[in-house]
Amino acid sequence: MVSPEQSLLIEKIKQLKKEKNVTLLAHYYMPPAIQLLEKDGGIADFTGDSLGLSLFARDAKAERILFCGVRFMAETAALLNPNAPIFMAAPEAGCSLASSITAEDVRQLKAQYPGVPVMGYINTYAETKCELDICCTSRNALEIARSIPSDKIIFVPDYYMGQNLAEVIKRETGKELILWKGTCEVHEQFKNEMFTSDPEADILLHWEVPNQLVKEQLDARKGVLGSTNDILSYVKRSKSEKFLLASECDLAFTLKAANPDKEFLTPCVHCKYMKETTLLGIVNALNAIGSDEEQAFLIQLDEATRERAIKPVERMLEFV
Protein backbone atom coordinates (compact mmCIF):
# COMPACT_ATOMS: atom_id res chain seq x y z
CA MET A 1 0.00 0.00 0.00
CA VAL A 2 1.55 3.30 -1.09
CA SER A 3 0.99 6.37 1.16
CA PRO A 4 0.16 9.83 -0.32
CA GLU A 5 3.73 10.98 0.55
CA GLN A 6 5.20 7.97 -1.28
CA SER A 7 2.96 8.66 -4.31
CA LEU A 8 4.36 12.20 -4.54
CA LEU A 9 7.95 10.89 -4.36
CA ILE A 10 7.20 8.22 -6.99
CA GLU A 11 5.84 10.87 -9.38
CA LYS A 12 8.89 13.09 -8.76
CA ILE A 13 11.26 10.14 -9.42
CA LYS A 14 9.53 9.30 -12.72
CA GLN A 15 9.81 12.94 -13.82
CA LEU A 16 13.52 13.22 -12.84
CA LYS A 17 14.42 9.88 -14.47
CA LYS A 18 12.97 11.11 -17.73
CA GLU A 19 14.57 14.57 -17.51
CA LYS A 20 18.04 13.17 -16.72
CA ASN A 21 17.84 10.05 -18.88
CA VAL A 22 18.47 7.66 -15.98
CA THR A 23 17.76 3.91 -16.00
CA LEU A 24 16.85 2.61 -12.55
CA LEU A 25 17.84 -0.94 -11.54
CA ALA A 26 16.46 -2.52 -8.35
CA HIS A 27 17.34 -5.70 -6.48
CA TYR A 28 14.58 -8.09 -5.37
CA TYR A 29 15.36 -7.18 -1.74
CA MET A 30 14.41 -3.53 -2.26
CA PRO A 31 11.18 -2.36 -0.57
CA PRO A 32 8.07 -2.98 -2.78
CA ALA A 33 7.69 0.70 -3.72
CA ILE A 34 11.21 0.64 -5.23
CA GLN A 35 11.30 -2.79 -6.90
CA LEU A 36 7.94 -2.40 -8.70
CA LEU A 37 8.51 -1.79 -12.43
CA GLU A 38 7.53 1.58 -13.88
CA LYS A 39 5.24 -0.15 -16.39
CA ASP A 40 3.32 -1.56 -13.39
CA GLY A 41 3.03 1.79 -11.59
CA GLY A 42 6.42 1.75 -9.82
CA ILE A 43 9.79 3.34 -10.64
CA ALA A 44 12.18 0.52 -11.67
CA ASP A 45 13.21 -0.19 -15.27
CA PHE A 46 14.55 -3.62 -14.32
CA THR A 47 14.28 -5.72 -11.15
CA GLY A 48 16.43 -8.79 -10.61
CA ASP A 49 18.87 -10.86 -8.59
CA SER A 50 22.56 -9.94 -8.57
CA LEU A 51 23.37 -11.90 -11.75
CA GLY A 52 20.33 -10.50 -13.58
CA LEU A 53 21.27 -6.97 -12.56
CA SER A 54 24.91 -7.46 -13.62
CA LEU A 55 23.86 -8.68 -17.05
CA PHE A 56 21.32 -5.91 -17.50
CA ALA A 57 23.92 -3.30 -16.49
CA ARG A 58 26.49 -4.80 -18.90
CA ASP A 59 24.11 -4.68 -21.86
CA ALA A 60 22.30 -1.44 -21.01
CA LYS A 61 22.52 1.36 -23.55
CA ALA A 62 21.54 3.81 -20.78
CA GLU A 63 23.15 7.21 -20.51
CA ARG A 64 23.22 6.88 -16.70
CA ILE A 65 22.29 4.06 -14.30
CA LEU A 66 20.91 4.51 -10.79
CA PHE A 67 21.49 1.29 -8.89
CA CYS A 68 19.16 0.44 -5.98
CA GLY A 69 20.90 -2.33 -4.08
CA VAL A 70 24.13 -2.55 -2.09
CA ARG A 71 27.58 -1.28 -2.97
CA PHE A 72 29.27 -4.49 -4.14
CA MET A 73 26.47 -4.92 -6.70
CA ALA A 74 26.88 -1.38 -8.03
CA GLU A 75 30.65 -1.96 -8.23
CA THR A 76 29.99 -5.06 -10.36
CA ALA A 77 27.75 -2.99 -12.62
CA ALA A 78 30.53 -0.39 -12.90
CA LEU A 79 33.06 -3.12 -13.80
CA LEU A 80 30.82 -4.47 -16.53
CA ASN A 81 29.69 -1.19 -18.03
CA PRO A 82 32.48 1.41 -17.91
CA ASN A 83 30.58 3.57 -20.42
CA ALA A 84 27.58 4.51 -18.28
CA PRO A 85 28.17 6.28 -14.97
CA ILE A 86 26.69 4.18 -12.15
CA PHE A 87 25.06 6.08 -9.29
CA MET A 88 23.64 4.83 -6.00
CA ALA A 89 21.02 6.50 -3.84
CA ALA A 90 22.76 4.95 -0.80
CA PRO A 91 26.41 4.68 -1.91
CA GLU A 92 27.63 3.43 1.47
CA ALA A 93 25.08 0.56 1.70
CA GLY A 94 27.23 -2.39 2.74
CA CYS A 95 26.83 -6.14 3.17
CA SER A 96 28.01 -8.37 6.03
CA LEU A 97 29.33 -10.95 3.56
CA ALA A 98 31.26 -8.47 1.42
CA SER A 99 32.85 -6.94 4.55
CA SER A 100 33.80 -10.34 5.97
CA ILE A 101 36.79 -10.75 3.64
CA THR A 102 39.54 -8.49 2.29
CA ALA A 103 42.03 -8.83 -0.54
CA GLU A 104 44.74 -9.55 2.07
CA ASP A 105 42.63 -12.39 3.54
CA VAL A 106 42.47 -14.01 0.08
CA ARG A 107 46.23 -13.59 -0.42
CA GLN A 108 46.79 -15.36 2.90
CA LEU A 109 44.44 -18.21 1.94
CA LYS A 110 46.36 -18.64 -1.32
CA ALA A 111 49.63 -18.79 0.62
CA GLN A 112 48.13 -21.39 2.98
CA TYR A 113 46.77 -23.55 0.11
CA PRO A 114 49.21 -23.02 -2.79
CA GLY A 115 47.77 -23.79 -6.22
CA VAL A 116 44.18 -24.26 -4.98
CA PRO A 117 41.78 -22.18 -7.13
CA VAL A 118 39.72 -19.49 -5.37
CA MET A 119 36.07 -19.19 -6.28
CA GLY A 120 34.46 -16.09 -4.79
CA TYR A 121 30.85 -15.22 -4.37
CA ILE A 122 29.88 -12.04 -6.23
CA ASN A 123 29.15 -10.59 -2.74
CA THR A 124 32.70 -9.22 -2.42
CA TYR A 125 34.14 -5.76 -2.98
CA ALA A 126 36.09 -5.00 -6.18
CA GLU A 127 39.39 -4.94 -4.28
CA THR A 128 38.77 -8.51 -3.04
CA LYS A 129 37.68 -9.63 -6.51
CA CYS A 130 41.17 -8.68 -7.76
CA GLU A 131 42.51 -11.76 -5.91
CA LEU A 132 39.85 -14.28 -7.03
CA ASP A 133 40.28 -16.83 -9.82
CA ILE A 134 36.58 -16.88 -10.65
CA CYS A 135 33.40 -15.31 -9.33
CA CYS A 136 30.02 -16.96 -8.96
CA THR A 137 26.52 -15.97 -7.95
CA SER A 138 24.06 -18.21 -6.11
CA ARG A 139 22.56 -18.97 -9.56
CA ASN A 140 25.70 -20.45 -11.13
CA ALA A 141 27.87 -21.48 -8.13
CA LEU A 142 27.14 -25.18 -8.50
CA GLU A 143 27.87 -25.28 -12.23
CA ILE A 144 31.12 -23.32 -11.79
CA ALA A 145 32.32 -25.48 -8.88
CA ARG A 146 31.63 -28.61 -10.96
CA SER A 147 33.70 -27.22 -13.84
CA ILE A 148 36.86 -26.23 -11.93
CA PRO A 149 39.52 -28.87 -12.69
CA SER A 150 40.83 -29.34 -9.15
CA ASP A 151 40.12 -31.75 -6.26
CA LYS A 152 40.03 -28.82 -3.87
CA ILE A 153 38.48 -25.36 -4.27
CA ILE A 154 38.64 -22.42 -1.87
CA PHE A 155 35.16 -20.89 -1.64
CA VAL A 156 34.73 -17.42 -0.06
CA PRO A 157 33.20 -15.72 1.81
CA ASP A 158 29.84 -17.36 2.75
CA TYR A 159 30.32 -20.23 5.19
CA TYR A 160 26.73 -21.52 5.13
CA MET A 161 26.41 -21.32 1.37
CA GLY A 162 29.78 -23.08 1.22
CA GLN A 163 28.55 -25.88 3.48
CA ASN A 164 25.39 -26.34 1.40
CA LEU A 165 27.37 -26.31 -1.86
CA ALA A 166 30.08 -28.57 -0.43
CA GLU A 167 27.58 -31.33 0.32
CA VAL A 168 26.28 -31.37 -3.25
CA ILE A 169 29.73 -31.05 -4.81
CA LYS A 170 31.25 -33.77 -2.63
CA ARG A 171 28.40 -36.14 -3.47
CA GLU A 172 28.53 -35.42 -7.20
CA THR A 173 32.25 -35.04 -7.88
CA GLY A 174 34.21 -35.92 -4.72
CA LYS A 175 35.70 -32.39 -4.70
CA GLU A 176 36.37 -30.68 -1.39
CA LEU A 177 35.53 -27.03 -0.64
CA ILE A 178 37.75 -25.06 1.74
CA LEU A 179 35.53 -22.46 3.42
CA TRP A 180 35.81 -18.97 4.89
CA LYS A 181 33.81 -17.87 7.94
CA GLY A 182 31.69 -15.06 6.46
CA THR A 183 27.92 -15.08 6.85
CA CYS A 184 24.94 -13.13 5.56
CA GLU A 185 23.47 -11.54 8.66
CA VAL A 186 19.98 -11.96 7.20
CA HIS A 187 20.04 -15.59 6.07
CA GLU A 188 22.01 -16.84 9.10
CA GLN A 189 19.03 -15.92 11.31
CA PHE A 190 16.69 -18.59 9.92
CA LYS A 191 16.17 -21.49 12.34
CA ASN A 192 14.05 -24.61 12.21
CA GLU A 193 11.70 -23.34 15.00
CA MET A 194 10.55 -20.56 12.63
CA PHE A 195 9.14 -23.09 10.16
CA THR A 196 7.18 -25.62 12.21
CA SER A 197 3.68 -24.48 11.14
CA ASP A 198 1.79 -25.34 7.95
CA PRO A 199 3.12 -28.87 7.33
CA GLU A 200 1.49 -28.88 3.89
CA ALA A 201 3.46 -25.81 2.73
CA ASP A 202 6.65 -26.10 0.63
CA ILE A 203 9.87 -24.56 1.96
CA LEU A 204 11.91 -22.04 -0.07
CA LEU A 205 15.53 -22.00 1.16
CA HIS A 206 18.23 -19.66 -0.11
CA TRP A 207 21.76 -21.13 -0.46
CA GLU A 208 22.93 -18.76 2.31
CA VAL A 209 20.79 -20.29 5.13
CA PRO A 210 22.41 -22.61 7.72
CA ASN A 211 22.99 -26.18 6.61
CA GLN A 212 21.20 -27.55 9.69
CA LEU A 213 17.97 -25.77 8.66
CA VAL A 214 18.27 -27.18 5.14
CA LYS A 215 18.62 -30.73 6.47
CA GLU A 216 15.74 -30.46 8.96
CA GLN A 217 13.35 -28.78 6.55
CA LEU A 218 14.02 -30.88 3.46
CA ASP A 219 13.63 -34.02 5.61
CA ALA A 220 10.23 -32.79 6.79
CA ARG A 221 8.62 -31.25 3.68
CA LYS A 222 8.91 -30.56 -0.04
CA GLY A 223 10.87 -27.55 -1.17
CA VAL A 224 13.90 -26.09 -2.88
CA LEU A 225 17.42 -25.03 -1.91
CA GLY A 226 18.92 -22.57 -4.36
CA SER A 227 19.32 -19.03 -5.62
CA THR A 228 16.61 -16.38 -5.73
CA ASN A 229 16.08 -17.34 -9.35
CA ASP A 230 15.77 -21.05 -8.44
CA ILE A 231 13.17 -20.08 -5.82
CA LEU A 232 11.17 -18.05 -8.37
CA SER A 233 11.28 -20.89 -10.92
CA TYR A 234 10.35 -23.53 -8.31
CA VAL A 235 7.26 -21.58 -7.20
CA LYS A 236 6.18 -21.06 -10.80
CA ARG A 237 6.41 -24.82 -11.53
CA SER A 238 5.02 -26.05 -8.21
CA LYS A 239 1.41 -27.24 -7.84
CA SER A 240 1.49 -26.26 -4.13
CA GLU A 241 -0.56 -23.29 -2.96
CA LYS A 242 1.36 -22.33 0.18
CA PHE A 243 5.09 -21.64 0.67
CA LEU A 244 7.32 -20.78 3.62
CA LEU A 245 10.15 -18.41 2.66
CA ALA A 246 13.60 -18.53 4.27
CA SER A 247 15.09 -15.49 2.54
CA GLU A 248 14.89 -11.70 2.67
CA CYS A 249 11.38 -10.53 3.56
CA ASP A 250 10.73 -8.38 0.48
CA LEU A 251 11.33 -11.34 -1.83
CA ALA A 252 7.85 -12.40 -0.67
CA PHE A 253 6.50 -9.33 -2.49
CA THR A 254 8.26 -10.37 -5.72
CA LEU A 255 6.91 -13.92 -5.35
CA LYS A 256 3.36 -12.73 -4.65
CA ALA A 257 3.41 -10.30 -7.59
CA ALA A 258 4.47 -13.13 -9.94
CA ASN A 259 2.08 -15.69 -8.36
CA PRO A 260 -0.99 -13.83 -7.08
CA ASP A 261 -2.99 -17.05 -6.50
CA LYS A 262 -0.33 -18.54 -4.15
CA GLU A 263 0.35 -17.78 -0.49
CA PHE A 264 3.76 -16.89 0.99
CA LEU A 265 4.57 -16.92 4.71
CA THR A 266 7.88 -15.62 6.02
CA PRO A 267 9.41 -14.81 9.43
CA CYS A 268 10.20 -11.51 7.66
CA VAL A 269 13.86 -10.76 8.26
CA HIS A 270 14.93 -7.56 6.50
CA CYS A 271 18.40 -6.68 5.23
CA LYS A 272 19.20 -3.35 6.89
CA TYR A 273 21.73 -2.54 4.15
CA MET A 274 19.17 -2.96 1.38
CA LYS A 275 16.74 -0.76 3.30
CA GLU A 276 19.22 2.16 3.30
CA THR A 277 17.81 2.99 -0.14
CA THR A 278 14.61 5.02 0.22
CA LEU A 279 12.33 6.90 -2.17
CA LEU A 280 13.56 10.19 -0.70
CA GLY A 281 17.18 9.08 -1.15
CA ILE A 282 16.45 8.30 -4.80
CA VAL A 283 14.95 11.77 -5.32
CA ASN A 284 18.07 13.33 -3.71
CA ALA A 285 20.41 11.29 -5.94
CA LEU A 286 18.43 12.13 -9.08
CA ASN A 287 18.42 15.84 -8.16
CA ALA A 288 22.21 15.72 -7.74
CA ILE A 289 22.90 13.96 -11.07
CA GLY A 290 24.19 16.49 -13.58
CA SER A 291 25.25 18.96 -10.85
CA ASP A 292 28.46 19.42 -8.81
CA GLU A 293 26.91 17.22 -6.10
CA GLU A 294 26.68 14.10 -8.28
CA GLN A 295 30.15 12.84 -7.17
CA ALA A 296 28.67 11.91 -3.77
CA PHE A 297 26.44 9.32 -5.47
CA LEU A 298 28.85 8.09 -8.17
CA ILE A 299 30.53 4.66 -7.93
CA GLN A 300 34.15 5.07 -9.00
CA LEU A 301 36.83 2.40 -9.36
CA ASP A 302 40.43 3.17 -10.17
CA GLU A 303 41.71 1.70 -13.44
CA ALA A 304 44.19 -0.72 -11.79
CA THR A 305 41.43 -2.24 -9.63
CA ARG A 306 39.03 -2.37 -12.57
CA GLU A 307 41.53 -4.20 -14.79
CA ARG A 308 42.09 -6.98 -12.24
CA ALA A 309 38.60 -7.21 -10.70
CA ILE A 310 36.86 -7.63 -14.07
CA LYS A 311 38.75 -10.86 -14.87
CA PRO A 312 37.03 -13.25 -12.38
CA VAL A 313 33.68 -11.66 -13.27
CA GLU A 314 34.24 -12.22 -17.00
CA ARG A 315 35.25 -15.84 -16.32
CA MET A 316 31.96 -16.28 -14.45
CA LEU A 317 30.01 -14.82 -17.36
CA GLU A 318 31.30 -17.58 -19.65
CA PHE A 319 28.86 -19.80 -17.71
CA VAL A 320 25.80 -17.65 -18.42
Segment lying near ligand SF4 (by CB under 6 A), choices 169-177, 220-228, 251-259, 270-278: 270-278
Residue 35 interacts with ligand SF4 (CB under 6 A): yes or no: no
Work out the number of other CB atoms within 10 angstroms of the CB of residue 38: 16
CA distance 241 to 301: 46
Nearest of 26, 93, 23 to residue 65 by alpha carbon: 23
List the one residue from 131, 133, 230, 248 that touches ligand SF4 (CB under 6 A). 248
Q: Does 184 bind ligand SF4 (CB under 6 A)?
A: yes
**Contact flag: residue 34 with ligand SF4 (CB under 6 A):** no
Which of the residues 188 through 247 are near ligand SF4 (CB under 6 A)? none
CB of residue 219 vs ligand SF4: minimum separation in angstroms? 25
Distance between CA atoms of residues 307 and 314, nearest Å: 11
Q: Which stretch binds ligand SF4 (CB under 6 A): 92-100, 105-113, 129-137, 219-227?
A: 92-100
**Side-by-side strand order, sheet with 242-246:** 223-226, 202-206, 242-246, 263-265
Q: State how far the Cα of 221 lies from the Cα of 202, in Å rounded to an integer.
A: 6
89: helix, strand or coil? coil
CA 207/CA 176 separation, integer angstroms: 17
- Closest CB to ligand SF4 among 62 and 316? 316
Which residues, numbered 134-173, are part of the site for ligand SF4 (CB under 6 A)?
none
Strand, helix or coil at 142?
A: helix
- Tell me how far CA of residue 34 lies from CA of 6, 47, 177, 276, in angstroms: 10, 9, 37, 12
Q: For residues 134 and 148, is the Cβ–Cβ distance under 8 A?
A: yes
Q: Pick from 10, 186, 251, 285: which binds ligand SF4 (CB under 6 A)? A: 186
The nearer residue to ligand SF4, 10 or 161, going by C-beta atoms, is: 161
Per-position x/- string for 44-73, each x denoting binding to ligand SF4 as judged by CB under 6 A, each - no binding: --------------------------x---
Under the criterion CB under 6 A, does residue 96 sit at the interface with ligand SF4? yes
* Residue 24 makes contact with ligand SF4 by CB under 6 A: no
State which of residues 273, 277, 286, 288 lies at the interface with ligand SF4 (CB under 6 A).
273
Helix locations, the chain, DSSP H: 4-20, 32-35, 50-59, 71-80, 103-112, 126-129, 141-147, 159-173, 211-220, 228-237, 251-258, 279-288, 303-317
The least CB distance from residue 248 to ligand SF4, in Å, is: 5
To the nearest whole angstrom, how small is the minimum distance from the Cβ of residue 304 to ligand SF4? 26
Q: Is 185 in the site for ligand SF4 (CB under 6 A)?
A: yes
Q: What residue type is 154 in one-letter code?
A: I
Going by C-alpha positions, the residue among 115, 109, 202 that lies closest to residue 157 is 109
Tell me the site size for ligand SF4, rule CB under 6 A. Answer: 13
Question: Which of 68, 95, 103, 201 touches ligand SF4 (CB under 6 A)?
Answer: 95
**Would you tell me the crossing angle of helices 303-317 and 50-59 to the nearest 10 degrees?**
110
For residues 202 and 208, which CB has a smaller minimum distance to ligand SF4 in the complex? 208
101 binds ligand SF4 (CB under 6 A): no
Site residues for ligand SF4 per CB under 6 A: 29, 70, 95-97, 123, 184-186, 248, 271, 273-274
